[in-house]
Amino acid sequence: MIHQDYWSAVDALMDSVDILTEDIVALKAENPRPETPTPIPFKVTDTKPLDVRPDPKPPLATRLPPPAQAPLWTTIVKKGRKTDNITRTTGPPTFAQPPHKKAPTTRERRLIVKREGTPLTMSALDLRHAINKALAGTYVQMVTVKGLTVTLTTMESTKATLLNSRVGSFLHLIPGTVSVHLDMPVTHLLVHGIPTLYSMDDVATELTTFNSGLALAGQPRWLTTEESRVGKSASTVVIAMTGPRAPDFVGRRLAAFSSTYRTEGRLHFNSESQTQCSHCHTFGHHNNKCTNPASCRWCALSHPTGAHTCPTATCRVRGRPCNHTSLKCVNCGSPHEAHALTCPSRPEKVPEGPEEGNEVEMPDT
């Protein structure tokens, strides 16, 4: 840009010089300079006045201005270049357009919140207004509540990762939250040989801290029941990974507790008859497919488990049993909670091979 301005200034100056030169030549042609008289080398004695007559007018040819000279090719080129520069600079300045930014996909705009049976205290519309108010901006476009799953969809130009990074600002508005994760493909993985003396919080912290890029979609869990782990120093943990690097950890040893542990991508799940719903607490289906009304895990009444309260007015325990609670199973009516392993209504585990889809304990390392 500086180089272009320099040449423009030089061209303008040279054109001004050419114009002034032509004006000077024209003025000289119109007003010829008088000839200077030659001094007389001797003394004049005759005092008679001389017959001084004005010079006759010069011929017409001498009075015409000199013919204009043909312009040089350098002058033509310079004038053409000046015209080009003026044409380029008189218009509005043009700037390079930035590359078009691709809008996030619908999946990249969704944040999924998993809940337990605690009822929501506001509608989906009110929840959207409350979340945007907590975030001090318009970030959430839509809130969808389906069963125990709340899906937050962000605005067209906002990714759900921004919402996930500020989840602490609005999570208190969604009671009974169990997990929060992005709407990304989830990879399940078995991690063998995890010491049983650690809690699931410790396992999650170790795996995400000492394995760069590993992101968990939810809380880890033991593959087998608590009774089957009695007397064992280590067992298998099931983790659900998400993010672009999740496939990189399949079959790779994971670091945790100052050691490494073998992983496996093959999972074995309970049969359909043994699945117990966490919404109505009956057997044979998952809570995501539950169409039954909610029931309490502790007292078998028709309210979500998270809404359980003590019948004693002085007790403020909520969502869990206390010393005043009289347990009652919703399946058999016996005085125990609905998930008790000793419940006579619990389906018996059929010993089938792994190819049939039953839960089996993987060998520990």
pLDDT of residue 33: 59
How far apart, in whole angstroms, are the C-alpha atoms of residue 322 and residue 73? 105
* DSSP conformation letters of 179-212: EEEESS--EEEEEEEEETTS-HHHHHHHHHHSST
Amino acid code (one letter) for 24: I
Identical fold between 107-182 and 187-264 = yes
pLDDT of residue 131: 94
pLDDT of residue 120: 84
Q: Residue 13: what are its φ and ψ, rounded to 5°? A: -65, -45
Q: Which residues contact 229 (CB under 8 A, 6 or more apart)?
A: 196, 222, 235
Global pTM value:
0.38
Query: What is the full per-residue pLDDT of the chain (365 aa) written as tens digits?
Result: 566 677 777 778 888 888 888 888 877 777 665 555 555 555 555 555 555 565 555 555 455 556 656 555 555 555 555 444 444 555 556 656 666 668 888 888 999 888 877 788 889 999 999 999 999 999 999 999 988 889 999 999 898 888 888 888 898 999 888 778 788 777 889 999 999 999 988 999 999 999 998 888 778 889 888 888 888 999 999 998 877 788 889 888 999 999 999 998 865 555 456 788 888 989 888 776 788 888 999 899 998 888 888 888 888 888 888 888 889 999 999 999 998 888 988 887 654 433 333 343 443 33
- Integer Rg of the chain from CA: 47
pLDDT of residue 226: 83
pLDDT of residue 324: 85
* DSSP conformation letters of 152-165: EEE-TT--HHHHHH
Report, at the CATH architecture level, how domain 187-264 is classified: 2-Layer Sandwich (3.30)
Tell me which fold the domain 107-182 belongs to.
Alpha-Beta Plaits (3.30.70)
Q: Residue 284: what are its φ and ψ, rounded to 5°? A: 105, -5
Q: Where are the domains of the chain?
A: 107-182, 187-264, 272-359
The dihedral through the CA atoms of 110, 111, 117, 123 has a sign that is negative
